[in-house]
């Protein structure tokens, strides 16, 4: 059976745990603890080690879904989780103080996952407040990482269908690159 190992990255409160919960067909392994940084993101709990879920795509392809803890004090886990992964869904909450800076920070931090597989970006929480336009994210990617193919979507991690679309886009992107080599251009979808 073919297998993909995908890592969900992005800042605290972007919706990584929520996304894996929406997608997974097995009971998700979660490591939530009380959030001591409610002044940064006001939610009750935060991931302290990892999330883990699984989903089958197509007939026979198992996708292993891992999530990082967004808080930087747990970044010792980032190195461990990035070792095995071969693709990334980078979620950025549009109501963060500077979501584009967050996007560029996490792309830089996990850039090897682009080289090893592929990356798609999901802009979350766009219903909560006004943030940058979708094209601002693509423009920032094109400016800082010219030539990379990184689709950018708006997505609500609570919606399984939306998460399935973004995951399938990534899987197809990874498989196309594996089959045909890389193509260039940053695209906004
Ligand atoms: N209204 C709205 N709420 C969202 C959206 N995306 C995520 N949320 C909510 O925002 C919160 C995100 O929390 P988590 O899924 O724990 O975020 P996380 O990225 O795992 O955060 P850490 O583990 O702390 O790094 C949850 O309460 C979600 O229900 C969205 O698009 N719209
Ligand atoms: Mg989490």
pLDDT at residue 186 in the model: 52
- Each domain of the chain, given as residue ranges in start order, spans 3-180
β-bridge partners, 9: 90
Residue 179 token pair = 């089959």
**Digit-coded pLDDT (tens) for 64-115:** 999 999 999 999 999 999 999 999 999 999 999 999 999 999 999 999 999 9
Ligand nearest to the CA of 18: 1
The number of residues in the chain equals 189
pLDDT at 187 exceeding the cut of 70: no
Distance CA 171, CA 2 (A): 11
pLDDT at 33 exceeding the cut of 90: yes
pTM above 0.85, yes or no: yes
DSSP letters, 61-92, are: EEEEEEE---SGGGTHHHHHHHHH-S-EEEEE
Mean pLDDT along residues 35-56? 94
Q: Between 129 and 89, whose confidence is greater?
A: 89
Distance CA 82, CA 109 (A): 10
Ligand 1 pocket, residue 122 CB under 6 Å = no
pLDDT at residue 136 in the model: 98
Asked if residues 141 and 152 have their Cβ atoms less than 8 Å apart, the reply is yes
Strands (E), the chain: 3-9, 32-34, 45-47, 51-57, 61-67, 88-93, 119-124, 152-154
Distance CA 168, CA 162 (A): 10
Ligand 1 pocket, residue 158 CB under 6 Å = yes
pLDDT at residue 179 in the model: 87
Mean pLDDT of the chain: 94
State the pLDDT confidence band at 48, using cuts at 50, 70 and 90. very high
Using alpha carbons, select from 168, 150, 58 the residue that is nearest to residue 107. Answer: 150
pLDDT at 184 exceeding the cut of 60: no
pLDDT at residue 182 in the model: 61
Taking the centre of ligand 1 as the mean of its atom positions, its distance from the CA of residue 101, in whole angstroms, is 19
Using alpha carbons, select from 91, 87, 98, 167 the residue that is nearest to residue 123. Answer: 91
Domain 3-180 has CATH 3.40.50.300: yes
State the pLDDT confidence band at 28, using cuts at 50, 70 and 90. very high
State the pLDDT confidence band at 189, using cuts at 50, 70 and 90. low
State the pLDDT confidence band at 181, using cuts at 50, 70 and 90. confident
Beta carbons within 8 Å of 84's beta carbon, 6+ residues apart: 5, 66
Taking the centre of ligand 2 as the mean of its atom positions, its distance from the CA of residue 189, in whole angstroms, is 25
Ligand 1 pocket, residue 128 CB under 6 Å = yes
């Amino acid at each position: 059976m073919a297998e993909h190992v995908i890592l969900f990255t992005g800042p605290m409160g972007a919706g990584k745990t929520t996304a894996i919960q929406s997608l997974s067909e097995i009971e998700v392994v979660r490591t939530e603890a009380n959030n001591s940084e409610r002044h940064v993101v006001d939610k009750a709990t935060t991931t302290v080690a990892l999330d883990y879920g699984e989903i089958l795509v197509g007939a026979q392809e198992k996708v292993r879904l891992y999530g990082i803890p967004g808080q930087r004090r747990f970044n010792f886990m980032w190195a461990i989780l990035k070792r095995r992964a071969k693709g990334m869904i980078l979620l950025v909450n549009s109501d963060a103080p500077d979501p584009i800076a967050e996007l560029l920070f996490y792309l830089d931090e996990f850039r090897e996952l682009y080289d090893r597989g592929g990356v798609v970006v999901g802009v979350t929480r766009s219903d909560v407040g006004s943030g940058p336009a979708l094209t601002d994210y693509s423009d920032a990617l094109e400016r800082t990482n010219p030539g990379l193919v990184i689709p950018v979507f708006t997505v609500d991690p609570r919606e399984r269908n939306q998460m399935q679309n973004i995951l399938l886009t990534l899987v197809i992107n990874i498989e196309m690159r594996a089959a045909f080599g890389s193509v260039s251009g940053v695209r906004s979808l």
